[in-house]
Structure 1
């Protein structure tokens, strides 16, 4: 039987989450749809807002693809193999999660800037510009979301162990067959959660993107930068509407994974 203390603890947690997450998000929805104007329709009728949304989704999609491939490959490498520098590589993979996004943006600017960048200047002379362009945005959001798939995959790889993989290899399976038929299916939900977290992180990134994109309207402005521009321009209704869209993307991704996973478990 559940005690009163347990109910009290649950109540405290629910109230805490409501005040911290639920209420602010509810206020965004209220300002978007219930304040006398349909600010979402007004925002989406603005070509600059549509451009910012597409830039954000495009960069986030690229980051998801890149970080999923890198996260799975790096997770298998760190869990399945022992090699010199393994701990250092693991620490470097975690670095984007501990460094301020503003610092990330400045670091990318110093490395890939077209004027003084150590790599950016030679690339600019060759006609390739990374900073203040879409590739720079992809670089920034990929950097800040780098550890998410990796850290979702590693515990699952450690839990499933190597017994099935070893048995398959002893029966003559190639490395590719073991990867495709055993390793990847065993971590598919970990990859899915890491993918969702990467998408949400990439869509909501602001600091690093602000530095490397330049925030050029209709070119390199992302949705988060558009929120700042609209809010500073006293178009707060449209700013709330774009913020609602960003929240909707993250919530929808989490909902899809949550809905699909029980069906997968029910399969024989």
Structure 2
């Protein structure tokens, strides 16, 4: 009995020790730096200057800031839409069908998670630039410009956020199996009816989860868009590029305000994900 009590005390010490180190690690790495961003967002620029929420809103009303966030939202919207449509299709292809090159496709899906976004941007430049790109000259001949324009930013954003929808849907498809779909098919339902009435309702929470994560990732993308965008004011400057440009040009108050908005968007995304999860996943 004494030995059991000693073991329990030892486990308790180890448990509390691990909790302390985890909390300390997260505080130093995440909470403290982000709290500094929040604090400086609402701090006055100069001792006699106004601070607070009013000054924060005033910085966001700058036309260049409005343009940057508008471009960011546009790129994120189209990137998420593209990834949702193709993500559902690729997920069904990987789970429901066997074909040559299936493993290669699965590896390619995960590639954006392992390749630096800067490399992604460089690859897009090499493929779609109007000077030496493989497809750039052909697209230019029909009036389509990719690099240095919104389509290039959307492609870069879609690339880096591609796996987030797919990797949420695949486990759910594997879990539900094909019994219900086969039963519907035997009763005369076509492929579209089976998908709309059986498959889609079964994966709707996984799709929603992936969409929210993809949106959060798209809003904060920097490396890939840095390469494919001119990055100038009113010319391809997204919110993340605005933060870099303003901070480098000693307009730190605007940089802090834009960074706070992106942090707030990420936190809201996590809150939404928590509430849209299925009840059994929350427990």
TM-score of Structure 1 vs Structure 2, range by shorter chain? over 0.9
Aligned partner of 1:257 in structure 2 is: 273
1:136 aligns to what?
152
> Residue 146 of structure 1 aligns to a residue in which SS?
helix
Partner of 1:5: 14
Encode CA deviations 1:28-64: one digit per residue, 9 max, x unaligned.
1101014562452232121111100110011001111
- Partner of 2:273, secondary structure, is helix
Equivalent pair of 2:244/2:255 in contact (CA under 8 Å) = yes
Which residue, 42, 47, 63 being the options, matches 1:33? 42
Aligned to 2:211: 195
Which residues in structure 2 correspond to 1:143-158 (within 5 Å)?
Answer: 143-158=159-174
TM-score with structure 2 setting the length = 0.88
Looking at structure 1, the residues matched to 70 and 197 of structure 2 have their Cα atoms a distance apart, in angstroms, of 35
Aligned to 1:90: 106
The answer to whether 1:102 aligns with 2:109 is no
Distance 2:217 2:278 in 1: 25
Distance 2:20 2:193 in 1: 50
Q: Is the 8 A contact 1:96 1:143 kept in 2?
A: yes
1:70 aligns with 2:86: yes
**Residue of structure 2 aligned with 1:46, choices 51, 62, 71:** 62
User: How far has the Cα of 1:259 moved from its partner?
Assistant: 2.5
- 3-state SS of paired residue (1:8): helix
For the residue of structure 1 that corresponds to 2:124, the secondary structure is: helix
Q: Which residue of 1 aligns with 2:192?
A: 176
Rounded to whole Å, the distance in 1 between the matches of 2:280 and 2:172 is 17
For each residue in 1:153-191, what CA deviation from the matched residue of structure 2 results, as whole angstroms up to 9, or x when unmatched?
A: 111111111122122222222211111111111111211
1:264 Cα deviation (Å)?
A: 9.9
**What's the TM-score once normalised by structure 1's chain length?**
0.93
User: What secondary structure is seen at the aligned counterpart in 2 of 1:254?
Assistant: helix
Q: Which of 204, 208, 211 is 2:220 aligned to?
A: 204
Instruction: Find the aligned partners of 2:278 and 2:168 in 1 and give their Cα distance.
Output: 19
Q: Decide whether aligned partners of structure 1 residues 72 and 112 sit closer, same or farther in structure 2, where only a CA change above 3 A counts.
A: same
Is the contact made by 1:196 and 1:250 (CA closer than 8 Å) also made in structure 2? Answer: no
- Does 114-123 or 76-85 show the bigger shift? 114-123
Which structure would you say has the larger Rg?
A: 2
Match of 2:4 in 1: none
Q: How well do the aligned residues superpose, as a CA RMSD in angstroms? A: 2.0
CA–CA distance in structure 2, aligned partners of residues 152 and 261 of structure 1: 11
Say whether the 8 Å CA contact 1:60–1:141 is kept in structure 2. Answer: yes
Structure 1 gaps, min length 5: none
